[in-house]
Every structure is written in structure tokens, then in C-alpha cells.
């Protein structure tokens, strides 16, 4: 049985990815930071293991990976944990900037750094990072969020080159507007407008992202690395 660690997996996109991968036969490590009840419940339902960790804290990340290593180490990693803020740049505090980059980029760096020694030793592994369409196009009132997600894209491309010789695939998914808690604050008019701007005329679901992640982690994607897969209904065309 292959092991996969999914960060930020207690709800939303992360939970959908955890469920999809469990159905594919993976042992899923369901990472959470604050949503313990949801993570434990999900882990019980899918036969996975809930692991608490603030991905922006190096010591906590190392402890999480030690737990995964007790089961043979991570064969795959999905860096999904993320945070967002909608605010004009001049109204965004330095603390808010630090929080977004610590979770959205530093977390990806810390968890990736922690899992790759074992992957390199095995000469195999797959990593999928979750960015955003705003990391590609940028978004008004989300400059810091957009920048943090653009950093994830750059990191993905660099690590694909760095880890390719070790047989490790590194790819990225850039979701469009997805029906999650992160977008729950959008009013109905805004949601309708975003759906209308999308060629497929709908807002995406967490399951849309989960299926893309499952593909990139599968053997069918063995010759794909360093790619940014936009799962956005065509909105960034």
C-alpha cells in the first residue's frame, strides 16, 4: 500500500483529495492544524491516519514526517494547506502578509524538504502542489495571496528540475473558483458573475481538483513533471 500525505486535509479540497486517494488504494495521512474533529472523522471514514501539524512550523513538520515514516514513509505528497485574504494592499498588515506566506509557501517548502530525503533514497515519489489561478493571473484585492501562490508555481518548476534525476515527479494544480469555505464569503451575485466568466459556465467542485491530483499521482502521469495544470473551467484562457 502506498502512503500519501495530504496537508490541510480536514475539509474542502484537501478532504476531497484524501477521499479520492483512499478510493484509489492509498493509505492517507490526513494533516490538520485546528480542525481536529473533522480530520479524525475523515480519517476514520477512509481508513487513514489523522496527523496534527502547523505546516509553517519546522519542528511540527519534522514530527509529522516521523509519524509517516513509522509506516514506511511518504510515497506521495499533496501540499494543499493554504490561507487567503481579500483586502486592498494598503490595508494588509505585515502580520497578515507573514501569515499567508508562512502557510502558502513556507509550508510547502518545509513539508517538501522533510519528505524528499526518503523519496530520493527510494528513487521514486510524486509531489503535487496546490496553487491557484490567481498565482498565474493575479487578482485585485488579493495581491499577497496571488504572490504566495505564484511562489508555489516557481517552486514547483524548480523542484521538478532538482528532483527529476531522482525519479521524483513534481507538479502543480492551479484551481479556478471552487465551491469551498475559502470562497463562502462571496455573495450570490459575485458567484454568478464568476460562473458566467467561466467557459464551462459553472463554479468548480473540490472533487474536480481531487481527480486531477489523483491523475498526477498515478502511473499514467509518470512522464509529466514541472507542469502547472489549470483546473478552472477555462476561466484563465
Kindly list the catalytic residues.
145
- Separation CA 94–CA 130 (nearest Å): 24
> How many CA atoms within 13 Å lie on the side-chain side of 19?
17
Name every residue whose Cβ is closer than 8 Å to that of residue 143 and which is 6 or more positions away in sequence: 89, 92
3-state secondary structure of 139: coil
**Which cell is 44 given?**
476514520
Name every residue whose Cβ is closer than 8 Å to that of residue 30 and which is 6 or more positions away in sequence: 6, 9, 10, 15, 18, 39, 42, 43, 46, 48, 49, 50, 51
Burial (CB count within 10 angstroms: exposed 0-12, middle 13-18, buried 19+), residue 223: exposed
Amino acid at each position: 500500500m502506498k502512503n500519501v500525505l495530504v496537508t490541510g486535509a480536514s475539509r474542502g479540497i484537501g478532504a476531497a483529495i484524501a477521499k479520492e486517494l483512499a478510493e484509489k488504494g492509498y493509505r492517507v495521512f490526513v494533516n490538520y492544524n485546528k480542525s481536529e474533529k473533522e480530520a479524525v472523522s475523515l480519517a476514520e471514514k477512509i481508513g487513514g491516519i489523522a496527523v496534527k501539524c502547523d505546516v509553517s512550523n519546522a519542528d511540527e513538520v519534522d514530527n509529522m514526517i516521523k509519524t509517516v515514516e513509522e509506516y514506511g514513509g511518504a510515497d506521495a505528497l499533496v501540499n494543499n494547506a493554504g490561507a487567503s485574504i481579500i483586502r486592498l494592499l494598503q490595508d494588509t498588515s505585515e502580520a497578515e502578509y507573514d501569515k499567508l506566506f508562512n502557510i502558502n509557501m513556507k509550508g510547502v517548502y518545509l513539508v517538501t524538504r522533510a519528505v524528499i530525503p526518503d523519496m530520493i533514497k527510494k528513487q521514486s515519489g510524486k509531489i503535487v502542489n496546490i496553487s491557484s489561478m490567481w498565482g498565474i493571473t493575479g487578482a485585485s484585492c488579493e495581491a499577497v495571496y496571488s504572490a504566495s501562490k505564484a511562489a508555489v508555481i516557481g517552486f514547483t518548476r524548480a523542484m521538478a528540475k532538482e528532483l527529476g534525476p531522482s525519479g521524483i515527479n513534481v507538479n502543480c494544480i492551479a484551481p479556478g473558483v471552487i465551491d469551498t469555505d475559502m470562497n463562502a464569503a462571496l455573495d450570490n451575485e459575485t458567484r454568478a458573475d464568476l460562473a458566467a466568466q467561466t467557459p464551462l459556465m459553472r463554479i468548480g467542485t473540490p472533487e474536480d481538483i481531487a481527480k486531477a491530483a489523483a491523475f498526477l499521482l498515478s502511473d499514467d502521469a509518470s512522464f509529466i513533471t514541472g507542469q502547472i495544470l489549470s483546473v478552472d473551467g477555462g476561466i484563465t484562457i
